[in-house]
A and B are shown apart, each in its own frame.
Chain A
Amino acid sequence: MNRRKAEEQIVKGLMGVAIAIVIGSLILVFGMVLVKGAGALNLDMITKVPEGGYYLGKGGGILNAIVGSLYLAGGAILLATVISIPISWYLNQDAGKSRFAECVRTSLDVACGIPSLVYGVFIFLIMVVIHQRTALIWGIITVAIFIIPILVRAMDEVMQTVSRDLKEASYGLGATDFETLRYVITRQAMPGIVAAILLAFGRGIGDAAAVLFTAGYTDSIPTSLFDPVATLPLAIFFQISSPYPEVQQRAYASGIILLVIVLVLIILSRFVSRRLMKYVIR
């Protein structure tokens, strides 16, 4: 009896330590960004474009990078979702048990592990071959390609958890594979799909490497898909590499803005997810 109690205490202690490490590092990162960046944070940061170049500009704001990141991640998530849903459907139809589907799953798992920089270089090479300059559209394509594996595998996992009973209810009424996937499996998995999209969005908006060569960098707000575009991670990268301490401080302020954007999106998706939970069968 005492052994069991001790075991319980030890495991609970370990859980506490693990949680403390995660929460602690989060608080440290947030705290550091907040402390270092708060001084440079002002309304200009989010309402104006930079004045005086990437590394040296002490004035203006990063509106172009905020808008750029939202365009880029938004566009990429749209493109990736449109491509990922049919792939997850394919994996979850009847043929989903086939060896080929398992191959697709394994390839996607491998693709999840490839650094985003490699995707960036790949698209960059294509751009060179067809004589294209850096632009929003290429950034969107790069980010989409790099988040598709993450998105598909996450969607696939939630779709696989839809119970056989539920699928049979649909097939039993004479539904086809497509109807079952669309009306039943996707609906039942919807909260999970929203979570997957959010996860992928977070990866997309926070990634600097993938868009380094493909989206370019600019001080102005893009007006078409073929303009180069600035992103928040790249803005932070340039600001932090600046020799001037004032500009470095601005990097932390940009970090705060990126955190706030992600936070707002998470809260929003929680809200949407809860609404969608309403019809889910438990």
Chain B
Amino acid sequence: MIAEIEMKQFSLSIDQTEILKNINLALPKNQITAIIGPSGCGKSTLLRSINRMNDLTEGLSYSGTILVDGKNIFEPGVDVTEIRREIGMIAQTPNPLPMSIYDNVIYGPKIHGLKDKQQKDEIVRRSLERVGLWEEVEDRLSAPANKLSIGQQQRLCLARTIANNPKILLCDETTSALDPISAKKIEEELRDLKNEYTILFVTHILRQAKRIADYVVFIYLGEIIEHGPAEQIFQNPADPRTKQYIDGIL
């Protein structure tokens, strides 16, 4: 297994409350890793540590390291904006920016210095095609992004993240605000995308984890209880708590 993300003795507290406890984890490249666990167990915090989104939270302290592609993302002098470009994030509810569809997709490349109009057009088209949105919006790229349906908005957010040319996609319950059909579309697109990206998917819907995950991490109360290939976790969990959670008892 080639590990893309490695967490070593990683602990995180907010206002002296320990949210994540001594996380040791290696996550496989070009696979979909589902992070499962009950609400409030630290799934999202774990995800948000990887692109340093937690930096925006007040009263945060952490220890340990997270290596992405062998580089420690907490090393002093590291460019956080570059980390966030390389590690894209798609939120729970679609959050298009207050601008046109085109400007939404090109926002990332633009702030990272892309000026050439032709290249921009190309990136917008490719990214929207990638998430299956191009044909739906081709003729109204300058329309405000808020005019799209919720499902389309979430695919726009996915396209916007891809336009940034990341290596890793972090999905934080990305389909939970969507109707079943839109959710299914996103799932399909993620499965398509895993050849090029390493995908981490936080979910509390077990059926969804079973559908899309190659690798599963089970967190409970800020600790990693068990992690491994999806079949192993779902069919033959080693820890009784994992089994209880999968059986819906925990």
User: Cβ of A94: which chain B residues have Cβ within 8 Å of it?
Assistant: 56
B13 interface residue per 8 A CB criterion: no
Scoring A residues 5 to 47 as 1 if CB is less than 8 Å from chain B, else 0, what string do you get? 0000000000000000000000000000000000000000000
User: A165 near B111 (CB under 8 angstroms)?
Assistant: no
Q: A281 in the interface, Cβ–Cβ < 8 Å?
A: yes
**Interface contact A173-B164, CB-CB below 8 Å:** yes
Judge whether B42 is part of the interface by a CB distance below 8 angstroms. no
Given contacts A165-B93, A282-B146, contact A174 B53 (CB under 8 A): no
Given contacts A174-B81, A174-B111, A174-B112, contact A169 B53 (CB under 8 A): no
- Residue in contact with A173 in the complex, picked from B84, B93, B98, B146, CB distance below 8 Å: B84
Tell me if A168 and B56 are in contact (CB < 8 A). yes
For residue A216, give the distance in angstroms from its CB to the closest CB of chain B. Answer: 44
Q: Is A271 an interface residue (CB 8 A)?
A: no
A168 to B177 alpha-carbon distance, docked (Å): 17
Contact of B82 with A174 in the complex, beta carbons under 8 Å: yes
Contact B84 A97 (CB under 8 A): no
Residues from chain B with a CB closer than 8 A to the CB of A269 are: none
Supposing A174-B82, A281-B146 touch, asked if A169 and B99 sit within 8 A by C-beta, the answer is no
A165-B91, A165-B95 known; A172+B107 contact, CB < 8 A: no
0/1 string, A263-282, CB within 8 A of B gives 1: 00000000000000011111
Q: Does chain B have a CB within 8 A of A221?
A: no
Asked whether, in the complex, the Cβ of A279 is within 8 Å of the Cβ of B111, the reply is: no
Chain B, residues 26-55, CB within 8 Å of chain A (1/0): the string is 000000000000000000000000010100
Instruction: Say yes or no: B96 contacts A281, CB within 8 Å.
Output: yes
Hey, which chain A residues are within 8 Å of B107, CB to CB? 170, 173, 175, 183
A109 at the interface (CB under 8 A from B): no
Contact yes or no, A168 B100, CB < 8 A? no
Residue of B nearest to A97 (CB): B58
Q: Does A194 reach chain B (CB closer than 8 Å)? A: no
**Which residues of chain B are near A167, meaning CB under 8 Å?**
56
Q: Is the CB of B146 within 8 A of A174?
A: no
Q: Which range contains the number of A residues in contact with the other chain?
A: 20 to 34
Q: Does chain B have a CB within 8 A of A153?
A: no
Query: Is A166 an interface residue, CB under 8 A from the partner?
Result: yes
Q: Report if A106 contacts B (CB, 8 A).
A: no
Instruction: Assess the A280–B98 pair: CB atoms within 8 A.
Output: yes
A187 at the interface (CB under 8 A from B): yes
| A170-B91 contact given A176-B81, A183-B107, CB 8 Å threshold | no
| Complex Cα spacing A15 to B161, Å | 49
Separation in Å of the B85 CB from the closest CB of chain A?
4
Q: Do A172 and B84 have beta carbons less than 8 Å apart?
A: yes
Hey, which chain B residues are within 8 Å of A171, CB to CB?
53, 56, 84
Q: What is the CB-to-nearest-CB distance from A90 to chain B, in angstroms, rounded to a whole number?
A: 17
A225 and B97 alpha carbons, distance in the complex (Å) = 41
Chain A hits for B157, CB < 8 A = 169
| Cα separation A166 to B84 with both chains bound (whole Å) | 15
B43 to chain A, nearest CB (A): 17
Q: Cβ of B108 < 8 Å from any Cβ of A? A: yes
CA distance A187 to B145 in the complex (A): 13
User: Interface digits, B83-117 against A, CB 8 Å rule (1 contact, 0 not)?
Assistant: 11100110101011111100000011001100000
- With both chains docked as a complex, state the minimum distance between the C-beta of B68 and any C-beta of chain A, in angstroms: 14
Q: Could you say which residues of chain A place their CB within 8 Å of the CB of B58? A: 97
Q: What residues make up the interface of A, taking CB atoms closer than 8 Å to B?
A: 94, 97, 165-176, 179, 183-184, 187-188, 278-282
- List 29 A-B residue pairs with CB atoms under 8 Å apart, sorted by A's residue number: A165-B95, A166-B98, A168-B53, A168-B91, A169-B97, A169-B157, A171-B53, A171-B84, A172-B161, A173-B88, A173-B108, A173-B160, A173-B164, A174-B108, A174-B111, A175-B81, A176-B81, A179-B111, A183-B99, A183-B111, A184-B98, A187-B98, A188-B98, A279-B100, A279-B145, A280-B98, A280-B146, A281-B145, A281-B146
Q: CB within 8 Å of A: which residues of B?
A: 51, 53, 56, 58, 80-85, 88-89, 91, 93, 95-100, 107-108, 111-112, 144-146, 157, 160-161, 164
Contacts A184-B97, A279-B146, A282-B146 given; 11 further ones with Cβ under 8 A?
Answer: A165-B93, A166-B98, A169-B96, A169-B97, A170-B107, A171-B53, A172-B88, A176-B81, A188-B98, A279-B100, A281-B95
The 10 nearest A-B residue pairs measured at CB: A174-B85, A174-B84, A174-B81, A169-B95, A173-B108, A172-B89, A188-B98, A165-B95, A187-B98, A279-B98
